[in-house]
Amino acid sequence: MSVCPLLQAVDVSKLDIYVYQLHDGGEEMEQLDSEDEVIAASHWLLPSTHFHGLWESLIYDDNIKNNVTIICTQSRQLYPVL
């Protein structure tokens, strides 16, 4: 059985692999308890199919995308999902 040359140099025991499933539900809104039905907040369950592919289209002057990725990865290590 042959192994891809690129994978031969990778120590798979040191890989962290995360698998995500996109949620296809839409925006959920919370309303204030009033007769006017005022929307107090709206939120999305992430990762969402609605936002899939948008990350690649974001353009910033600074290296913010890399910083956000690092912060998310570090917080994932501090607070793993049980």
6 domain-assigned: no
In 10 A of CB 57, how many CB atoms? 6
* pTM beyond cutoff 0.85: no
Q: How many domains does the chain have?
A: 1
Instruction: Compute the distance between CA of residue 24 and CA of residue 4 in angstroms, rounded to an integer.
Output: 35
11 domain-assigned: no
Among residues 20, 21, 28, 24, the alpha carbon closest in space to that of 44 is found at: 28
Distance of CA 64 to the CA centre of its chain: 15
Domain that holds residue 46: 22-78
4 domain-assigned: no
35 domain-assigned: yes
One pLDDT digit (tens) per residue for the chain, 82 residues: 565 666 666 677 777 777 888 889 888 888 887 777 788 888 888 889 998 888 888 887 788 888 888 888 887 776 666 5
69 domain-assigned: yes
Among residues 41, 43, 13, 14, the alpha carbon closest in space to that of 26 is found at: 43
30 domain-assigned: yes
